[in-house]
Chain A
């Protein structure tokens, strides 16, 4: 070091340039006359489109088909006297979310608070008094579950996990009925958002492990396993989802004995799962390839066997790298459930078509297509956007300390 004593401890801050709004506008939108013209033109287009949209939505549009058919949108033609069973099923799921948010915190807690906010919002909306009370009840239920989870995290941890695992069965029994206890409700009566969510959740939960196995199989050294996985993935990726759905609903019964009848809903679930699994497999494979070979060598040299190496070293690293791609696949699966309408299921989009064709709206000039489709699109958007947000949170959380 030189003899001149340099004071290095003095903190040097990056200069923070305060940018006023006018400065920012001038720099980014009006930097020269051409940019100014483009900015003004686009501004005019956006403003006039929004004005037109709001004008239409508030004055011209007929929202009665949406308001009158809310129950149809939510549960389809599910019989009214059994609707309490859907409400109980939803209550069960929300209570579980509440408890889990209390126990685990982090992302679960954020999801729970989002759900509480959603139920409160629904309770404020001008719905029927019974519905609003139900949603208030749900918010309270989640809050109670949350407090319970917060108070007794150790006691409730395992029961909560067990309940999550058996919840799909409980929900199917509640909604579909069980001989002797609950009168059965045929799956052809399931519909609306309820059916959309069931198709999506089953598709997501079932396709994930299958996709991971296919991805691992494709890297296998055994030619039979590898060949099967490659053939499966490439076949499914080579055909449109509609084809797979048709195959499941029309072709499958031809191959099965006449006594075995599988419900349409189940066949659509199987088709969605198999379809999504192929795409997931390719996403996961991308992650697997990104894990350096040295990781596997290190694990093997420590004496971990192939199974341990895969589950403890390879998959945790591979999956976190492809979370955005996986969630993207889940979001597109959620929206793809709308294709189940072509095999006769009345999920959300199917219900939209039913509502549009109702004779009550024949007199409305121009029909009610726009209103109904806009409403359905909004529902799809709310769910897709929420999934994207959760994905972002998971990414941020898992990103800590990995790089």
Chain B
């Protein structure tokens, strides 16, 4: 398994980020929604520090796939190992993995009844058992990092979409995750706000974070991704560096899809 990956790595042009050991391993992952076969045998692995962009037509299973990595969706067959912990029904394993994996959603999903600061400090206080003071100091640092420290005491409803998504990123980072999952983080945003969110993600990628990003922002993918996965009908149809995917796509479906969105 790891040899195979080595071979693939060798074919790549120089990676954009310093890559470490494999942190996510998926072997033949299947998932059904009733009779609908959403994931039909997904096998891939992600290395520490790697930025993987997942793209493909809607309904291709790309969102479902990243949601299996922190068990928001349960896979029905196959094996998922995150940071050395295998995903089973054992609730302790699931909780342990969720603490290591941060997630950013298309619809932000900030908690509307809590202020920005409370949104960010909630999990560190209740899950990581930090003191309120420590958590708040860290939250302010993170808000500084995503560029909106002045919004700390507002409620999510008072912020713009781009600001909300940056708060959501800060909230996930507050748990000090080793992996970040992004599920179409800019799809619900007005065009002028997409850049501010992508900038934060760029900075995060360059800081060495392992990231799985479902997105149609091809400019971002070209610039930041180490590897791109093209999903269609529940399978990884093609993968490669952005250069390979954009300039020399192998598969017919990849070509068609890229011609539609570029």
Report which residue of A292, A302, A320 has the largest number of chain B beta carbons within 10 angstroms of its beta carbon. A302
Which of B113, B122, B157, B158 is A302 in contact with, Cβ under 8 Å?
B122
A303 lies within 8 A of chain B by Cβ: yes
CB–CB A301/B72 < 8 A: yes
| A300 engages B72 (CB within 8 Å) | yes
Q: Which positions 272-324 of chain A face chain B at CB distance < 8 Å? A: 292, 294-295, 297-305, 308, 312-313, 316-317, 320
Interface footprint category on B: 20 to 34
Within 8 Å by CB of A317, from B113, B123, B154, lies: B113
Contact A317–B99 (Cβ < 8 Å): no
Q: Tell which of B70, B103, B111, B155 has the most Cβ of chain A within 10 Å.
A: B111
On whether the beta carbons of A300 and B126 are closer than 8 Å, the reply is no
Once the chains bind, are B127 and A401 in contact (CB under 8 Å)? no
Contact B175 A303 (CB under 8 A): yes
Contact status A302-B105, CB under 8 Å: no
7 nearest A-B residue pairs (beta carbon): A401-B155, A298-B109, A302-B123, A294-B109, A301-B103, A303-B99, A303-B127
> Number of A interface residues, CB 8 Å?
21
- Distance in angstroms from A328 CB to nearest chain B CB is 22
Complex Cα distance, B125 from A302, in Å, reads: 11
- The reply to whether the CB of B46 lies closer than 8 angstroms to some CB of chain A is no
Interface residues of B in 97-138 (CB under 8 A from A): 98-99, 101-103, 105, 107, 109-113, 115, 122-123, 126-127
Q: List residues 375-403 of chain A with CB under 8 A from any CB of chain B.
A: 401-403
The answer to whether A297 touches B158 (Cβ under 8 A) is no
Q: B112–A302 contact, CB under 8 A?
A: no
Known: A313-B111, A401-B158. 5 other contacts (CB 8 A): A292-B107, A302-B98, A303-B175, A304-B122, A304-B123
Q: Which residues of B contact A317 (CB under 8 A)?
A: 111-113
Taken together as a complex, chains A and B put the C-alpha atoms of A385 and B129 apart, in Å, by: 44
> Which residue of B107, B123, B157, B172 is within 8 Å of A401 (Cβ)?
B157
CA distance A302 to B102 in the complex (A): 7
Interface status of B48 (Cβ within 8 A of chain A): no
| Cα-based distance from A299 to B171 in the complex (angstroms) | 11
- Contact call B95/A305, Cβ cutoff below 8 A: yes
Chain B's nearest CB lies how many Å from the CB of A52? Answer: 51
B7 to chain A: closest CB distance in Å? 34
Task: State in angstroms the CA–CA spacing of A293 and B109 once bound together.
Answer: 9
Chain B residue at smallest Cβ distance from A319? B113
Contacts of A312 in B (CB 8 A): 122, 126
B151-169 Cβ-contact flags toward A at 8 Å (1 or 0): 0001101100000000010
Q: A302-B175, A303-B98, A402-B113 are in contact. Are A297 and B72 (CB under 8 A)?
A: yes
Which of A292, A300, A316 lies in contact with B113, CB distance below 8 A?
Answer: A316
CA–CA, A293 and B123, complex, Å: 18
Minimum Cβ distance to chain A for residue B153 (Å): 10
Which A residues between 216 and 265 are near B, CB-CB below 8 angstroms?
none
Could you show 23 A-B contacts with beta carbons less than 8 Å apart? A294-B105, A294-B109, A297-B72, A298-B103, A298-B105, A298-B109, A300-B72, A301-B70, A301-B98, A301-B102, A302-B123, A303-B127, A303-B175, A304-B122, A304-B126, A304-B127, A308-B127, A312-B126, A313-B111, A317-B113, A320-B113, A401-B155, A403-B112
A396 to chain B, nearest CB (A): 15
Does B95 contact A302, Cβ atoms closer than 8 Å? no
Residues on the A chain within 8 Å of B154, using CB: 401
Contact A402 B122 (CB under 8 A): no
CB distance from B249 to the nearest CB of A (A): 33
- In the complex, the answer to whether B109 meets A403 with C-beta atoms within 8 Å is no
| Docked complex Cα distance between A369 and B115 (Å) | 56
> What are the residues of chain B within 8 A of A305 when measuring CB–CB?
95
User: Inside 8 A of B127's CB, which chain A residues have their CB?
Assistant: 302-304, 308
Query: How far, in whole Å, are A316 and B111 apart by their CA atoms in the complex?
Result: 10
Question: Which chain B residue shows the least CB distance to A309?
Answer: B126
Return the CB mask of B23-57 against A: 1 if under 8 Å, else 0: 00000000000000000000000000000000000
> Which chain A residue has the least Cβ–Cβ distance from B155?
A401
**Chain B residues near A300 (CB-CB < 8 A):** 72, 98
A292–B172 CA distance with the chains assembled, in angstroms: 19
What are the residues of chain B within 8 A of A301 when measuring CB–CB? 70, 72, 98, 101-103, 172
Residues from chain B with Cβ under 8 Å of A304 in the complex: 122-123, 126-127
Q: Please pick, from B126, B157, B168, the residue contacting A403 in the complex, using a CB distance under 8 A.
A: B157
Query: Complex: how many Å from CA A93 to CA B194?
Result: 56
Within residues 65 to 121 of chain B, which ones have a CB less than 8 A from any CB in chain A? 70, 72, 95, 98-99, 101-103, 105, 107, 109-113, 115
Bound Cα distance A292, B98 (Å): 20
In whole angstroms, what is the CA distance A312 to B119 when docked?
11
> How far does the Cβ of B237 sit from chain A's closest Cβ, in whole Å?
27
Cβ–Cβ < 8 Å partners of B103 in chain A: 298, 301
Name which residue of chain A comes closest to B171, CB basis: A302
**A residues near B102, Cβ cutoff 8 Å:** 301-302
A403: chain B residues at CB < 8 Å are: 112, 157
A301-B98, A303-B123, A304-B123 known; A295 vs B109 contact (CB < 8 Å): yes
